[in-house]
Structure 1
Amino acid sequence: MFRADERGHTIFNEQCRSLDMQGVLGPGSCTAVLFNPRRFNLVRDWSGDRGPHFVLPPTAITLIFPEAGPDASPFNVVSFHLAYASAVQRQLEAEWTTTWADKGWQAPDGSRLVLPAFFGGDGNSYPEPGTAGDLPLPDLSAIQDRPHRLHRSRRGPDGVRVPDTEPDHTMRTAGLEDVARHWATAEGGNPAALARTVNASSTHGPDSRIDRVYATVGLLPAVTGIEVHEVPLDESDHHVFVVTVDGNVLADVLNSYARTVARA
């Protein structure tokens, strides 16, 4: 969202109007969340939290889905962009990003909810291997740009540098699921969900799945599809990753989540 905050957010507000969306621009114009105000209502902006820990601060908001009814749980939506040049910094940022999967909320009956959440963004790192059909990790020797080779790797236990997969490991250790991995392996899903989000280049290595969406496990039943729309390089070096969610199932999930927490 580079420079979208200039002239009092004039650029960002124009973008929102052109898309017929409502938006929240995070600190430093680094990230943003746009949403359809006819389907969702904004109830909290968390974007000022945890700012000092991030090179590019995330945007984090809480939405409610009115169609689910007044007793349904709200949910968090987080847009992140992990640090480009440091594996150590990315791991720190990933750890702090998971705190939005642990945010409390007081339900109408006075009980305390821990909000479910969606997280999406540029991980500047790779998913851990182990899912059939996923892109292989790069051979670091094939990345000709030596600074970039450093930026996308970390030292392994034997002192040899390996591709950086720690942010993905961190997110999933916190109970978040890589939605593409889930959809690629789910019954009725599609392995095409694991498509590249960044194209191969002579300097930066092979095709990679740098951009990912994560969700708390309870939200996964609402996911009904994933598409990756390739974008010409002169417009962006990343592709557009789309997760489709069924509104009726989302409503059921949010109500079920609230009832389960209340009973507990």
Structure 2
Amino acid sequence: MLINAAICNFENNGGGDRDLWQRMHDRLASLDLHLLLRQEMWGAHDNGNALADAAEAVLGMVGSIGRECCTAIYHEPKLFIPVSEYPNTGPVWALPPTVCSFQLAGTAPDATPLIVGSYHLNYCSTTTRLAEAEWLTKWNDKWVKDGDRYVHYPALLGGDNNSYPAVGTPGDPALPVLEEIRDEPHQAHRSYLGPDGVRRMDDRPDDTLRTAGLQDVARHLVAATGDTSAVAPTVDACDTHGPDARIDRIYASQQLLPAVREVEVVDMKGLSDHHTVVVRLDRDTLTEILNHPLIRAA
């Protein structure tokens, strides 16, 4: 069995267009998802939780909507059993993430939970994005005391990075040329000033996450299989913001990578300004990983 986990930044949660909202959620439901990490959940709690309840009904999953309706996690309740939520995600967030842990059904009673996080890095500040990425690394540093040992909880995190992956992966969209981005504020939003006084396109969140052992699953799959469809663009080119880019990404703790089987970028043209990324994990392999976690002496 494959476990399907996806990230989806649905622009403005439909912006009040209920027909668009319905079509997007029907499309997501058609993907047979078991985990869904959402961004831009605006208005989900309005009118007595109308959109929050409707999403659960259409998706057939249970939702956990984070602070200020910025992000959310949906899970298939027969497959993922909630263990805990982590409301203390750090002080720096412009758009707070949603982070929960789940026990995978069928794992041993003492198996480690899986930490799952949905995040949305800041749009306009490279400095804030870097700090937010640094705070995300805490979710790959969860060593929980269990008797005379510490057990590591692996993490699966995904969202809108508003920044670029580091160059070097075959098939990855090329970094924009700063001067060719027509919108001047966007030039500032997507670049940072290096120590030599030269502006560089912002790949620092990606570098930070990967330095901390949270690996880009699409990058991993290309290296493992050569399937460059995994690194297809997640946002399309536009006149003001530049060329196609892979802004939306899923990261996983290193020990989870053997479970990764496929990464697909699902075209959402006409529904959102971001495409949806789906990672498919082998359930048996994931079960084995969670049953035999990384440990170290207390």
Question: TM class by shorter-chain length?
Answer: over 0.9
Matched, 1:227 2:242: no
Whole-angstrom distance in 2 between the partners of 1:106 and 1:8: 40
Q: 1:199: which partner in 2?
A: 236
TM-score, normalised relative to structure 2: 0.83
Q: Which has the higher contact order (CA 8 A, sep 6+)?
A: 2
Which of 211, 215, 218 is the matching residue for 2:255? Answer: 218
What is the Cα deviation at residue 3 of structure 1? 1.1
Contact 1:95 1:170 in 2 (8 A): yes
- Uncovered stretches (5+) of structure 2, i.e. residues with no partner: 1-40
Which deviates more from structure 2 when the two are superposed, residues 110-119 or residues 146-155? Answer: 110-119
Which of 50, 68, 84 is the matching residue for 1:44? Answer: 84
Which deviates more from structure 2 when the two are superposed, residues 155-164 or residues 241-250? Answer: 155-164
Q: Read off the aligned partner of 2:207 and give its amino acid letter.
A: H
Whole-angstrom distance in 2 between the partners of 1:211 and 1:222: 20
Q: 1:261: which partner in 2?
A: 295
Whole-angstrom distance in 2 between the partners of 1:172 and 1:163: 17
Whole-angstrom distance in 2 between the partners of 1:183 and 1:45: 29
Which of 76, 81, 84 is the matching residue for 2:120? Answer: 81
Q: 2:284: which partner in 1?
A: 248
What pairs up with 1:50-89 in 2 under 5 angstroms? 50-89=89-128
What is the Cα deviation at residue 116 of structure 1? 0.3
Taking structure 1 as reference, are residues 52 and 7 closer, same or farther at Cα in structure 2, changes over 3 Å only?
farther
How many residue pairs get matched? 258
Matched, 1:152 2:186: no
Q: Which has the higher strand share?
A: 2
> What secondary structure, in the 3-state scheme, does the structure 1 residue paired with 2:106 have?
helix
What is the Cα deviation at residue 136 of structure 1? 1.1
Whole-angstrom distance in 2 between the partners of 1:182 and 1:94: 19
Backbone CA RMSD of aligned residues? 1.6
Whole-angstrom distance in 1 between the partners of 2:99 and 2:245: 26
Matched, 1:117 2:151: no
Whole-angstrom distance in 1 between the partners of 2:49 and 2:187: 36
Q: Read off the aligned partner of 1:238 and give its amino acid letter.
A: H
1:136-177 Cα offsets, whole Å, 9 max, x none, are: 111011110111111011112221211000000110111111
Q: Read off the aligned partner of 1:32 and give its amino acid letter.
A: A
What pairs up with 1:91-106 in 2 under 5 angstroms? 91-106=130-145
1:7-29 Cα offsets, whole Å, 9 max, x none, are: 34332122012111011101110
1:154-206 Cα offsets, whole Å, 9 max, x none, are: 112221211000000110111111110000110x3511101000000111100
Q: Read off the aligned partner of 2:209 and give its amino acid letter.
A: M
1:191-243 Cα offsets, whole Å, 9 max, x none, are: 110100000011110000000000000000001101001111x4210001000
Taking structure 1 as reference, are residues 261 and 205 closer, same or farther at Cα in structure 2, changes over 3 Å only?
same
Whole-angstrom distance in 2 between the partners of 1:84 and 1:110: 44
Contact 1:185 1:191 in 2 (8 A): no
Q: Read off the aligned partner of 2:180 and give its amino acid letter.
A: A
Which deviates more from structure 2 when the two are superposed, residues 237-246 or residues 131-140? Answer: 131-140
Q: Read off the aligned partner of 2:295 and give its amino acid letter.
A: V
> What secondary structure, in the 3-state scheme, does the structure 1 residue paired with 2:238 have?
coil
Contact 2:78 2:105 in 1 (8 A): no
Q: 1:15: which partner in 2?
A: 55
Q: Read off the aligned partner of 1:144 and give its amino acid letter.
A: R
Which of 18, 34, 38 is the matching residue for 2:74? Answer: 34
What is the Cα deviation at residue 263 of structure 1? 7.5
Whole-angstrom distance in 1 between the partners of 2:103 and 2:296: 18
Q: 2:223: which partner in 1?
A: 185
Contact 2:148 2:297 in 1 (8 A): no
